[in-house]
A and B are shown apart, each in its own frame.
Chain A
Amino acid sequence: MEDLMFILMDGINFAAWLFLAAVGLTLIYGVMKILNVAHGSFYAMGAYVAASTLGFWFDNNMPPFLSYVALLVAAFVAGFIVGPIIERVLLKPQYDRDEHLILLITYGLFLILEDVLKLIWGVDPYFVSQPYELVGSFELGDMIYPSYYLLMAGLALAVGLGLMLLLNRTHFGRMLVSVIHDREISSAMGINVGRMFAITFGLGVSLAALAGAFTAPTVSVTPGMGVEVIVLSFAVVVTGGLGSLPGVALAAVMMGIVRAICVFYAPELELFVIYSIMALVLTFRPRGLFSIAEARKI
């Protein structure tokens, strides 16, 4: 029984991180049909921006608990500056081209951004653990867990609910759903599809940066930290169904909990269990758990 509690706690913590890391990727694909290989670099960008922000914040004795707000603001500011610029300059001219070309462009962008991050922040690692330590810890059985895990889970829940509300309850969200289903009809109906793409890309980049920003206090921010995230994010997104928010959430929870079970009882399986889940799901549901139904065009 105690083991079950620990597995759930660790599983949900990992699931929250997976969801935050992957949700921006599925949003961009859902709206723009772009598999953004540079997603990991935006995650890393968020982590570095967080490191700089927190360094400034605590060096200047700003209110410690407002550092979480600073992280949120820093991630979204960075995302909405970088995202739309990249979308307008690099991606927009290619929308009429083959989607494989856009994939390659995002791969090139990933390579460029890895070096840009090194140019700006160097190769030295940064660690900014104050937000991680600030909220203390709690006991679960005879195990101590950092309360930061609950904060991450809460953030993932808030992001998920926020996106669902945005898509289903706002005017902007309804326009976005329309673009998701058919951009030609949406354009014919007067929706500025180009602007929707720019905003969506900015939002997707911001969500990736947000994941990196809130991960930064728990790790050492080092070059190359985005590479691992791309692979995992793809696995989660593909398992959940490209473009599906509920799919990403369910896939993240499944993978988090199964991975925690393996770590406890069969650590040698942990390395590939996430990809095994992906393979198993795709075997029976090739479009993922919750793929968006697409009308066949004649």
Chain B
Amino acid sequence: MKLRRALIASAVASAAVGMLPAQALADNHGGEVKIGIVTFLSGAAASPFGVPARNAAEMLIQAFNSGKAPAPYNTKGFGGMKITPVIIDEAGSGTNTVTEYRNLVQREKVDLVVGYVSSGNCLAVAPVADELKTVTYLFDCGTPRIFEESPKQFAFRSTNHAAADNVGAALYLKSIGLKAKSFSGINQNYAWGQDSWADFERSMKVYYPKAEVGTSQMPKLFAGQYSAEISALLRSKADVVHSSLWGGDLEAFILQAVPRGLFKRSTVVLTAGEPAMFRMADKIPDGTIIGARGPFGLAAPDTELNRWFRSQYSDRYNTPPTYPSYHMAHGIMAAKMAYERAMKANGGKKPTSEQLAAATRGMTFEGPGGSAKFALSGGQQAVGDYAYGQFKKVNGKPTITNIKRFTVDQIMPPDGVKTADWINSGFKAK
């Protein structure tokens, strides 16, 4: 009996000891970092945003794993650990998005997530990131509401939010000395379009106090037919036409509006126009103001990191990287830097989510679009400089000229101040 008990006890003890290394290995994924990448791989947002972002993710992860990226990202993987991406499609309802996020974290057991183009999805996922205590870098969505409505601990945004796009647009017009007695707009009738127009209109009232609104057209998302809207814009004879249209809607608008002379009659500002400028280079008139949602694309600073990024991307995919690619690059580079920072702080071990989040807060990191700092909303929201320019074809190739760069304090509200309040105060609220 005694021997039997001893044998059972030793068997149990061996099993327990045997499990420990396996458990530890399971926690460390055998020296691997699993990263969930979420972006549109189908639907209307795939071609302009999701696919360029996914391409950037795949390219960078391969480069990081082989240790071939330039400094400060020239170490292998994340702190020597191999990066394994789990790429999923963002398409679907908000409910579906949250379900897929939970699957990523709880079933796929990713260590962190870099994702989300849609503002609606970002708003849905951010609280779940806190619930599941999983560091999530929101790499592209524009809504300022993520941190303005409630603080977050594990959701971060690695790029400026959409206020910068529209404040920057108005500031650019002022900086190039454009005289604007009136301005009109055409934006998609959902949160992105409405917020874009509202921020632009408020900003124009600050920079051009006497300018009047001609007309604000808000066609349905994916409407595609803009004949009447273009007529209304032409009839308004506005000096400036603002548009945050994207994807197929933007391309349809350009196809329909250019032959009708809208781009000649008014200075057109396309705040999200950069992804379309290569495909539609033959259609977009010179002088059109093009936004790349930050200092990205052809407006990116001339640094070694940017030159490397652009050449690697172009060689691999036969097309230059557009701003969604840059946004994803910033997300993954922020993740790598934060990971290694956290490992340095904890003696080289694989960091926990809490350690990774702590390392991210307040961190400054370099990306191909320049440097950015997680400075707002308790260190959860990254901010960086901005750039706008004008489209010009040079020797048949699309370029951006007359680039103006703006600093963070010119285009993003200070910490703790809502965007609308900041703009309405004449950009003075602190």
Contacts and interface: CB of A to CB of B under 8 A. Distances in A.
A127 B255 contact: yes
A267 B248 contact: no
A125 interface: yes
Given A127-B251, A146-B260, A222-B247, A267 B46 contact: no
Interface stretch (A68-76, A129-137, A161-169, A173-181): A129-137
Contacts of B271: none
B355 interface: no
A177 to B, nearest CB: 33
Contacts of A132: 255, 259
B43 A125 contact: no
A183 interface: no
Given A10-B227, A259-B228, A125 B222 contact: no
A169 to B, nearest CB: 33
Given A123-B41, A143-B260, A225-B224, A267 B217 contact: yes
A132 B283 CA distance: 13
A144 interface: yes
Given A225-B248, A228-B222, A228-B223, A219 B255 contact: yes
B232 A228 contact: no
B228 A10 contact: yes
B259 A225 contact: no
Contact of A222 (B44, B219, B227): B44
B259 A264 contact: no
B225 interface: yes
A48 interface: no
Contact of A267 (B216, B261, B279): B216
Interface residues of B, number: 38
B44 A223 contact: yes
A129 B280 CA distance: 11
Interface string A212-237: 00010011111111011000000000
Contacts of A17: 225
- Looking at chain A's contact residues, is the secondary structure mostly helix, strand, loop, or mixed? helix
Contacts of A202: none
Given A225-B248, A228-B220, A123 B228 contact: no
Task: Find the residue from B44, B225, B279 having the highest chain A CB count within 10 A.
Answer: B225
B248 A219 contact: yes
A57 interface: no
B55 interface: no
Interface of A: 3, 6-7, 9-11, 13-14, 17, 118, 123-125, 127, 129, 132-133, 137, 143-146, 149, 215, 218-225, 227-228, 259-260, 263-264, 267-268, 270-271
Interface of B: 41-44, 46-48, 51, 189, 215-220, 222-225, 227-229, 231-232, 234-235, 247-248, 251-252, 255-256, 259-261, 279-280, 283
Given A145-B260, A263-B232, 18 more contacts: A14-B225, A123-B41, A123-B51, A124-B51, A125-B47, A132-B259, A137-B260, A144-B259, A144-B261, A218-B252, A219-B225, A224-B222, A228-B224, A263-B228, A263-B229, A267-B229, A270-B219, A271-B189
